Amino acid sequence: MAAEQFNLMKCNPTKKHALNSRRKCQMFTFLCVLLLALLNMWLNGFSFESNHCTQVTILMWYQPYGKPNNLRGDESWVRNCTPCCKIVEQRSLFPMADVVVFHNFELVRGQEKLPLDLPRPPSQRWAWMSLESPVHNGDLKRFAGIFNLTLSYRRDADISIPYGERLAKEADRDDPVQGVAHNKSFLACWVVSNYRSSFKRSQVYKELSAIVPVKVYGRWTKTPLSSEALLPTISRCYFYLAFENSESKDYITEKLWKNAYQSGAVPVVLGAPVKDYEAVAPPQSFIHVDEFASVKELAEYLQQVAGDRKRYSEYFHWKRKWKVKVNNNWGERVCKLCSQFSNLPPNKVYTDLAAWDHVIDAM
């Protein structure tokens, strides 16, 4: 508008000979107005584009597990997350961050601290992130009334970041299922580094191995497997004992999603309740210890199924309709915050995070 007025003012004829130059001036003014209108449209159009999504800044206060490469290694995820979202690490960006993410592991060990001394913008959310089961999360009572969001493998977390997931295959193709009962040498295999006789999984193992042979690998038996050897080794077993270290709601780790499903051994699971597995795993893809009245019955069942090609192959029928995705990328996990940002609860405070973490799910 300022430029327009300026031109119009200059167009006021102050001299008699001005008729000709007045036309020129009017033409010039017209062009100026047109130019301004176009500029305006372009600018409006531009801001309309970026209004499609809310600009979101996610600040990772520090890297999960103190490995500086955890997020940077997943750079393509961080870069391509969404065009409207920035995942940043510079603490100086705190005042403008929409979400600040704190990984619990370092907090409970005192390796990192919450910036409680900084003035916290009222609309800023603090997110608590953990992939550990409650018994390994430490004492969360000290975090009462601090966090607004949870990022966890739990299905009821604000942002659910499970260790893996089933995905429906696009077409229900009746492909023959490959590699069933191919080159199997062992009935059941178990990989264990951290053996503690108090764990339920250790008791089940002891009972089971007294009845049927169980091949054991890992640091406990001083037969550790390299990451390259892991899947080929498990693939030689009919069953893989995907026993979790804790029995907690939704706590289903890469033991199921990667070790079992990617190797082609049928998982025998122990940990979360049967219904949690049923909710997330492909149908008839696993055997849950709790489905049997005793370990003896489980042992007998495993022997029967391994000896019956048809029954064994039924544990692979799911592959016709489902595939499995292993989630092990920190960039992808944090990116979920961006894609779900607009659906987050507006005003939420975890007044008792410890109670949320230790929730006992009603059946």
Closest residue by Cα to residue 320 from 282, 276, 281: 282
Of 179 and 283, the one with the shorter C-beta distance to ligand NAG is: 179
Under 8 Å between Cβ of 243 and 158:
no
Tell the smallest beta-carbon distance from residue 322 to ligand NAG (Å). 25
Of 208 and 353, the one with the shorter C-beta distance to ligand NAG is: 353
State the amino acid at position 97 in one-letter form: A
Tokens (6 digits) for 263? 């190797």
Q: Return the bridge partners of 269, or none.
A: 242, 288
Closest residue by Cα to residue 126 from 153, 169, 158: 158
- CA–CA gap between residue 291 and residue 275 (Å, rounded): 11
Tokens (6 digits) for 341? 């940002």
Of 146 and 212, the one with the shorter C-beta distance to ligand NAG is: 146
Closest residue by Cα to residue 315 from 190, 212, 179: 179
Of 129 and 295, the one with the shorter C-beta distance to ligand NAG is: 129
Tell the smallest beta-carbon distance from residue 343 to ligand NAG (Å). 14
Tell the smallest beta-carbon distance from residue 127 to ligand NAG (Å). 10
Tokens (6 digits) for 45? 């159009």
Q: State which H helix or E strand residue 85 sits in.
A: strand 85-88
- 132 counts as catalytic: yes
Of 123 and 226, the one with the shorter C-beta distance to ligand NAG is: 123
Tell the smallest beta-carbon distance from residue 126 to ligand NAG (Å). 6
Q: State which H helix or E strand residue 128 sits in.
A: strand 125-130
Of 130 and 233, the one with the shorter C-beta distance to ligand NAG is: 233
Print burial letters for 130-142: b (CB count within 10 Å at least 16), e (below 16).
bbbbbeebbebee
Q: Which residues bind ligand NAG (CB under 6 A)?
A: 123, 125, 145-146, 148, 183, 236, 347-349
Of 309 and 348, the one with the shorter C-beta distance to ligand NAG is: 348
Under 8 Å between Cβ of 223 and 194:
no
Tell the smallest beta-carbon distance from residue 181 to ligand NAG (Å). 12
Tell the smallest beta-carbon distance from residue 149 to ligand NAG (Å). 8
User: Following DSSP, what letter does each residue of 51-72 receive, concatenated?
Assistant: TTS--EEEEESS-GGG-THHHH
Q: Which of 4, 89, 106, 132 is catalytic?
A: 132
Tell the smallest beta-carbon distance from residue 189 to ligand NAG (Å). 13
Return the half-sphere exposure (C-beta side, CA atoms, 13 A cut-off) of residue 96.
Answer: 11
Q: State which H helix or E strand residue 238 sits in.
A: strand 237-243
State the amino acid at position 352 in one-letter form: D
Q: Return the bridge partners of 242, or none.
A: 269
By annotation, the residues acting in catalysis are 132
